[in-house]
Amino acid sequence: MRKEKNYHLTDPTWCKGCGIFGIFAALKKAAVTLNLEPEQLVIVTGIGCHGRLNNYFRSYGFHALHGRTLPVASGVKLSNPRLSVLGISGDGDAYSIGLGHFIHSLRRNINITYLVVDNRIYALTQGQTSPTSEKGFVSVSTPYGSKDLNLNGPQLALASGGSFIARGFSGEPKQLATLIEKGMKHNGFSLIEVLSPCVIHNKVNTYQWFKKNIYNLDDDSNYNPKDKMKAWKKLSNEKKIPLGLIYIEKRPSYEDLVFGKEAKPIVFDDLRVDVPRLEKIMEKFK
């Protein structure tokens, strides 16, 4: 436990300057703008530095296993669709151990908002190379430089059938809050990847580095986020990294198909147990 003067148990334990503070501020702003009551919101987190976000938020929260944010968030949402459900993962949680859930959640389109805190490193475990670390990245796990290509989460999301894909930056909490609000209003799965410096373990992707390497699609009136090919092109050329709403598509959510007007009966057969028939079958095995 921290021994600092005036430290309170409910104070965040992130390192000074951590990008997650910006995300925390954006989340609070979005919850206020959306007028969410604490009991209406459930924040599900994975394992990592990001995983403490729900601890400091006055809402329901669930700190899931590493890589299992989305199965838990999906279960919460489907058992009570009236709740607003927000999942949060790190780049390791989402794109390494949780990658299968990532892809299937995008195509399934359950009404969840998912923030991926991309600090391009495994921070909690003291700085190993992650799927979003660039080729050549030197860390304790790749001392000779990573030989792997880095993974592009939003591009993978587009290929996996994502209906809302955005990217924010923890150094721009106002824009991030707006993206979270839009994502939470979207009917279906909304992915918001958040570029977020880890000031202790990642000495490459700093605030200055991100500022130099980002541009804002939200400022470009010629950009149409409903155009899938345009979105693909933007994500294919990331010498400069696009922020903002990258892609949005209107299509029924999973809940619309299962519980809503478009719901079709899932079970066509009468599945009640036919005891006499069962007994007859059992006879055969005696």
Ligand X SMILES: Cc1ncc(C[n+]2csc(CCOP(=O)(O)OP(=O)(O)O)c2C)c(N)n1
Chain residues that interact with ligand X, rule: CB under 6 A = 47-50, 66, 90-93, 117, 119, 121-125, 130
The least distance separating ligand X from the CB of residue 90, rounded to whole angstroms, comes to 2
Q: Cβ closer to ligand X: 129 or 178?
A: 129
Give the CB-side neighbour count of residue 170, counting CA atoms within 13 A.
26
Structure tokens, 130: 């992650």
Query: Is the torsion defined by CA of 21, 25, 28, 31 positive or negative?
Result: negative
> 52 vs 234, which CB is nearer to ligand X?
52
Beta-carbon contacts of residue 32 (< 8 Å; ≥ 6 apart): none
Give CA separation, 148 vs 93, 131, 137, 143, 160, in Å.
18, 8, 9, 13, 21
The CB-of-45 to ligand X minimum distance in angstroms stands at 9
How near is the Cβ of 64 to ligand X at its closest, in Å? 11
Question: How far is CA 140 from each of CA 87, 106, 120, 121, rounded to the nearest angstrom?
Answer: 29, 32, 14, 11
Number of CB atoms found within 10 A of residue 131's CB: 21
Please state the closest distance from residue 139 (CB atom) to ligand X, in A.
12
Q: Cβ closer to ligand X: 50 or 186?
A: 50
Residues near 9 by beta carbon (within 8 Å), at least 6 away in sequence: 1
The nearer residue to ligand X, 131 or 188, going by C-beta atoms, is: 131
Between residues 30 and 94, which has the closer beta carbon with respect to ligand X? 94
Q: Shortest CA distance to 64 belongs to which of 81, 42, 82, 79?
A: 42
User: Cβ 43 to ligand X, closest distance in Å?
Assistant: 15
> Rounded to the nearest whole angstrom, what is the least distance from the CB of residue 152 to ligand X in the complex?
16
Looking at the DSSP bridge assignments, the partners of residue 245 are: 166
Which residue lies nearer to ligand X by CB, 84 or 205?
Answer: 205
